Structure 1
């Protein structure tokens, strides 16, 4: 009898598929991703058993629903020690980062691990997972909508079930036959083919265009338009170029702020607008708009000290913008090389603007020097005009005096050629401007 029992056990060990639980299987050859689901029909709490294997991206997910909105999703990423997998049941109310759903009871079974070749293996049972807020799993459906997604390559290593996620890199949809998945409760075994699943198109590559545009527009404003504007202000006589560049710079910054606000609504970590990046960005608005208001005549004429505020306000705005950008890279979970490149570019641009502004303060801008030269020229012309007027007045006075003295002098003899013009006896006198007496 014992020999018969040992023989049966040996056969079962050699052919594990004979004891595998009935399941529907989703399989993706491109990534060797498997998701097999067993809907237990012999439990009172509607248990769901599943097996999931996939390359260890930063995170991977499977969800019950047509889209992210109102779907129950299982997000999987490496644990803090990198030896096992953190599985986070999450819900999302829109096409944004889902949040941890604590009402789901999920138990990880002993087979859950990260293999030596970098593959997630998750074996789990979920209790009371068939119904969730604004959604439910239809166990009678032959085409239950399902979604899947892969995060970017950079890993998240955390035990926190509400850990921050980067936007998915690729995603897709399929439908699953729940009747095929129903059977006695148990964890499905390994599988490498579709079973009761219909794919809806292939994997689609996602693009985080809004977040990327926010970063690109902000960097163009800080690292391109800003130093160009400083050059225009310091070396061009006509202020209209500086004003035009300032308006363009302000437009770029406002667009960056708008895109940043829209991007913030997509992630849990930024929805509250309380991150260091967002707080610094909002603080930057104060010196930015004060700088924009200073040239307005009613404000610029308030005091002789008002124009002097321009340089410190501009410098503080630039520093805050650069700091906000660096904090934004940290918030977006960018890699260290990108952060180091940003830091190097920021230091180079800051040094360039600092040296340029120091030169401008010592020599004065081209506009100021041109204006000062014009005022000096006008002052010199005024002095010349005043001296010429005084000289003409003095000459007329001397002429009148000479005529009067000539008319009243000696025996009633008249005087010709009084003043500066020669008289009729020019050949006799040979000295123009000297009064000539008639004999």
Structure 2
């Protein structure tokens, strides 16, 4: 029985030593390691010296997406983008290549084989993989003989992206940075590097830089101001001010806002795969809205407006149509940019309130006519302005109440005979005014 106990003890000793051998084997894997303490992000690379494979260990907090790339910048770089799967329980790894400073596109030429342990662990992305045929790509290559291979990394925004698709649309990164990696130090026996929080074979280039999508934000803000602030204000000015020039000036101001918003939208469209072709519903509606905007701009021109009496009547329906098209365009833009639901709901509520206010205001103006139209009609019919009549009545009353005004000079006494024998020679309105107020009333002379 003594020999049995010795065999058991030997087996136990071997079992205790095996993890040490395994750890020694892991430690023997050559690797260069990038570690960012701010986010606990690790990216380690091993270059196999007996094949063209590249072994990768990558871990980072579960943002909407996280990416690392081989290259000096986004243009012509090979990247690995990670984001949660559709059910949120697994990890989607998307190999992509960027052709410009824009969203990278999926490349089918790279084969990525994930290893056990890949997934989302304790809200951390963990990638253990073998990258085959990824040392050379159409627009660049991985220089395994350099001690300073340019590298980039980036983090997506806080809102969650969940998709099983390799070409899932990405929002612009909020933070990014650069570093160099020693490929010679990473070359050795092929194997997935171990987890580590120690920087090795890496030099940082600057720090973690915060990014701002100012053009896209300005595009949304200018469009919203034009629709929900300047547009209703312009309608108020058109309905209640007698000077048409103010309405025209405000219309030009709104047009400038819209032109800038369009220009910014076209500029930012080139940054994303989903909008590069200009075939999204947001862009289609934006192009359709250009037609009524153009008509609103040229129809009021006098030579065109005088061609037919029906042309000025098109202004109101064209205004409503343009407003509706632009509001729908803005809502589709929020969907295209994957905006959070609260922002979309707020936009919808503001749009409904603005539409209700504009509709009521247009009904009021249509019923009573605009101040400019009423003033123009009075001048065409030879009638006095209401304000002018009030001032005239006040001045007449003041003159009649002054005793010296009637007999100030000989020959200038104000009487019925001095007015040609017409009623109304004193403070009462003359018969011509009465005729204007009540057409058909006869006028009698002395």
Q: Which residue of 1 aligns with 2:44?
A: 36
Q: In 2, distance between residues paired with 1:212 and 1:8?
A: 64
Q: Which residue of 103, 112, 119 maps to 1:97?
A: 103
Displacement after TM superposition at 1:8 (Å): 4.3
Q: Which residue of 66, 75, 85 maps to 2:72?
A: 66
Matched residue SS, 1:268: coil
* Equivalent runs, 1:78-93 vs 2, <5 Å: 78-93=84-99
Q: Which residue of 2 aligns with 1:213?
A: 218
Question: Kindly tell me: are residues 37 and 379 of structure 1, through their superposed partners in 2, closer, same or farther at Cα, counting changes over 3 Å?
Answer: closer
Displacement after TM superposition at 1:376 (Å): 3.2
Q: In 2, distance between residues paired with 1:131 and 1:260?
A: 35
Matched residue SS, 1:358: helix
Matched residue SS, 1:38: strand
Question: Kindly tell me: are residues 127 and 234 of structure 1, through their superposed partners in 2, closer, same or farther at Cα, counting changes over 3 Å?
Answer: same
Matched residue SS, 1:69: coil
The yes-or-no answer on 1:154 pairing with 2:159 is yes
Q: In 2, distance between residues paired with 1:91 and 1:357?
A: 53
Normalization by structure 2: what TM-score? 0.82
* Equivalent runs, 1:142-221 vs 2, <5 Å: 142-221=147-226
Contiguous gaps of at least 5 residues in structure 2: 1-6, 386-420, 422-446
Normalization by structure 1: what TM-score? 0.84
Displacement after TM superposition at 1:80 (Å): 1.1
* Equivalent runs, 1:321-336 vs 2, <5 Å: 321-336=326-341
Q: In 1, distance between residues paired with 2:182 and 2:103?
A: 28
Cα shift readout 1:36-94 (whole Å, capped 9, x = no counterpart):
11111122xx1011111100000000100100111100000001121111111100111
Contact kept in structure 2, 1:68 and 1:92, CA below 8 Å:
yes
Contact kept in structure 2, 1:17 and 1:189, CA below 8 Å:
no
Q: In 2, distance between residues paired with 1:260 and 1:193?
A: 44
* Equivalent runs, 1:292-311 vs 2, <5 Å: 292-311=297-316
Q: Which residue of 1 aligns with 2:140?
A: 135
Displacement after TM superposition at 1:201 (Å): 1.3
Q: In 2, distance between residues paired with 1:72 and 1:81?
A: 27
Matched residue SS, 2:184: helix
* Equivalent runs, 1:346-425 vs 2, <5 Å: 346-378=351-383
Contact kept in structure 1, 2:54 and 2:134, CA below 8 Å:
yes
Matched residue SS, 1:27: strand
Displacement after TM superposition at 1:296 (Å): 1.0
Q: In 2, distance between residues paired with 1:8 and 1:65?
A: 46
Displacement after TM superposition at 1:5 (Å): 6.4
Matched residue SS, 1:11: helix
Q: Which residue of 2 aligns with 1:402?
A: none
Contact kept in structure 2, 1:12 and 1:18, CA below 8 Å:
no
Count of matched residue pairs: 379
Q: Which residue of 2 aligns with 1:406?
A: none
Larger Cα-atom Rg: 1
Q: In 2, distance between residues paired with 1:186 and 1:157?
A: 30
Question: Kindly tell me: are residues 176 and 334 of structure 1, through their superposed partners in 2, closer, same or farther at Cα, counting changes over 3 Å?
Answer: same
The yes-or-no answer on 1:317 pairing with 2:325 is no
Question: Kindly tell me: are residues 255 and 133 of structure 1, through their superposed partners in 2, closer, same or farther at Cα, counting changes over 3 Å?
Answer: same
Displacement after TM superposition at 1:7 (Å): 3.2
Displacement after TM superposition at 1:168 (Å): 0.4
Q: Which residue of 2 aligns with 1:55?
A: 61
Matched residue SS, 1:123: strand
How large is the Cα RMSD of the aligned pairs? 1.8
Matched residue SS, 1:216: helix
Displacement after TM superposition at 1:10 (Å): 2.8
Q: Which residue of 2 aligns with 1:276?
A: 281
Displacement after TM superposition at 1:339 (Å): 0.4
